[in-house]
Structure 1
């Protein structure tokens, strides 16, 4: 339990870095950032795959297809939605909508995986979910007030950003559940090798996407300088940094946590990503968080701490999850 929580915390701190990419590169389209990040991730995975070649050779064709599906939905599509949302709504709102993932994943897993992991009793889980939801509501209230105070604010663009973030939530509700299924069905496999396999499987998808976007800019007459945009050094440096730290190392930490903790519980620990991303966004904004934001963070942490006290209960042989 302790090591699983530690790995989930590490994954959250690393994954929080992905929220600052669109803030540091506002002049780069979301598609270029998404394909660029995972192209970098795939290239980083190649030498790692060589080191794990004996383990990867044991993966079946079905395993590689599953790695490609996880890479497409949990990596490329997720970040495409998220980067598009941040470009339209800024950092904090998408961060806090993504913060609903602990609630969404916990409910989904409790409905789907109770027979495998044991069921987290709904009445005992409810206070944790309520605290997390209240924390998210507090921070969202601050961001809406911040938006109203801006005379140039575009509420339509802001709303579209929120909608795109919902797409990111859908992608990342599917990903950890599906990823946990594979890891639980293959307890003898190394989580590091599985993280590397996802990087390798994502590489051709990201390459096709990157080349396709390049071709689209040429056909449409876009003024964006390709292949690396107006600030090549910053773009490449950030993509490889996020590819290594967030995509590979973050996925490794998450895989380690997923093998040690029930899916419903590890899903709630994604709140660490929310807290890290919010902290990074506020640091970039250069502002001290308001009292209500601080209260929201305290509620989020309290919800996670409460969740850690809830233990799964095995279902009776003839019972069905509620």
Structure 2
């Protein structure tokens, strides 16, 4: 594939990973907020940002067909609401690093799933980079699994199960999103990101309302629906930051990468989110990663570099 497209695509994927890694920190900073509050709050903010940006892009949004809007709603439900609801629950149950490790399997899972469908690269040239990434995940996972023996077994098991649902949701989302963008080359990535934000807003508002009503019934006097919880300023600030950066800007960067690169390569580049989440998680813990974890991180980086080089070779990027 063209070197310019490869460089720009990787840069967009890196930018998306850096912003998406931020979402792993919010549940740890707001442990007294439920996963539902974090998920629906973040995506209400995403919808509000999209609503503000919709006016200058109104002509291209008006040109979207009914099928486009239906697809945007599907992507919003699975890739936004379901994904982050279960990810937040997993993080609060087991902590940031374990959740980031399980989400870290996405580069392998998505790359294999995508390449199985479109065969953008021969398996013999794809597997070495995926092998390094898988080994890196295993090394980081070994360190985190050791924490189960310290008395966190039940919480870690629950957190792992919840996070695996998020893994399934985000395996489906990028493959489906990339196929839609490539099937509609005239569709602007900016317009498509805003459309997904607009589709997310009613889903998030409905989820917030239903969750708030349930809170009121199960916990009389709970101030969640109108009071924004016990730390409203921090909550609102983090939700707005995630809505703008992690949701809108991150989705835009990823959609642009998806238009430039084969899905089997962008799948591997999701490792940027894993690396960012690990960095932010260890920063929040105020500790350095263990040597084994550091070795795993090095292998993750090496696997991505090998994957990018595989697509630089002649004939690798026909897709």
Counterparts of 1:4 and 1:134 in 2: how far apart (Å)? 25
Distance change >3 Å, CA 129–CA 224, structure 1 → 2 = farther
- The answer as to 2:53 corresponding to 1:48 is yes
Counterparts of 2:207 and 2:287 in 1: how far apart (Å)? 37
Counterparts of 2:251 and 2:268 in 1: how far apart (Å)? 16
Following TM superposition, by how much is the alpha carbon of 1:146 offset from its aligned partner in structure 2, in angstroms? 3.4
Map Cα deviations across residues 110-137 of structure 1 (whole Å, 9 max, x no partner): 11122xxx3x111121111111111111
Which residue of structure 1 aligns with residue 3 of structure 2? Answer: none
Which residue of structure 1 aligns with residue 15 of structure 2? Answer: 10
Following TM superposition, by how much is the alpha carbon of 1:291 offset from its aligned partner in structure 2, in angstroms? 0.8
What does 1:116-195 correspond to in 2, within 5 Å?
118=120, 120-148=121-149, 150=150, 153-195=151-193
- Output the aligned Cα RMSD: 1.3
Which ranges in structure 1 are unaligned for 5 or more consecutive residues?
Answer: 316-322
The question of whether the paired residues in 2 share the 8 Å contact of 1:98 and 1:169 is answered with yes
More helix by share: 2
What does 1:250-289 correspond to in 2, within 5 Å?
250-289=250-289
Counterparts of 1:162 and 1:146 in 2: how far apart (Å)? 13
Counterparts of 2:236 and 2:49 in 1: how far apart (Å)? 13
Counterparts of 1:289 and 1:222 in 2: how far apart (Å)? 43
Map Cα deviations across residues 3-39 of structure 1 (whole Å, 9 max, x no partner): 0000000000000001001000011110111011101
Following TM superposition, by how much is the alpha carbon of 1:199 offset from its aligned partner in structure 2, in angstroms? 0.2
Map Cα deviations across residues 299-319 of structure 1 (whole Å, 9 max, x no partner): 00011111112233659xxxx
The question of whether the paired residues in 1 share the 8 Å contact of 2:216 and 2:222 is answered with no
1:87 counterpart (89, 92, 116): 92
The question of whether the paired residues in 2 share the 8 Å contact of 1:224 and 1:230 is answered with no
Following TM superposition, by how much is the alpha carbon of 1:147 offset from its aligned partner in structure 2, in angstroms? 3.9
Secondary structure, aligned partner of 1:82 = helix
Which residue of structure 2 aligns with residue 65 of structure 1? Answer: 70
Which residue of structure 1 aligns with residue 237 of structure 2? Answer: 237
Secondary structure, aligned partner of 1:27 = coil
Map Cα deviations across residues 148-181 of structure 1 (whole Å, 9 max, x no partner): 3x3xx33112111111111111000100011001
- The answer as to 2:206 corresponding to 1:201 is no
Secondary structure, aligned partner of 2:310 = coil
Could you tell me the TM-score, scaled by structure 1's length? 0.93
Aligned length: 308
Which residue of structure 2 aligns with residue 295 of structure 1? Answer: 295
Which residue of structure 1 aligns with residue 307 of structure 2? Answer: 307
- The answer as to 2:39 corresponding to 1:34 is yes
Counterparts of 2:191 and 2:127 in 1: how far apart (Å)? 36
Could you tell me the TM-score, scaled by structure 2's length? 0.94
The question of whether the paired residues in 2 share the 8 Å contact of 1:131 and 1:300 is answered with yes
Which residue of structure 1 aligns with residue 106 of structure 2? Answer: 101
Counterparts of 1:223 and 1:273 in 2: how far apart (Å)? 39
Counterparts of 1:261 and 1:313 in 2: how far apart (Å)? 8
Map Cα deviations across residues 174-232 of structure 1 (whole Å, 9 max, x no partner): 00011001110111121011001000010000000000000001111256421211111
Counterparts of 1:122 and 1:175 in 2: how far apart (Å)? 23
The question of whether the paired residues in 1 share the 8 Å contact of 2:262 and 2:317 is answered with no
Distance change >3 Å, CA 60–CA 313, structure 1 → 2 = closer
Counterparts of 1:263 and 1:126 in 2: how far apart (Å)? 15
Which residue of structure 2 aligns with residue 24 of structure 1? Answer: 29
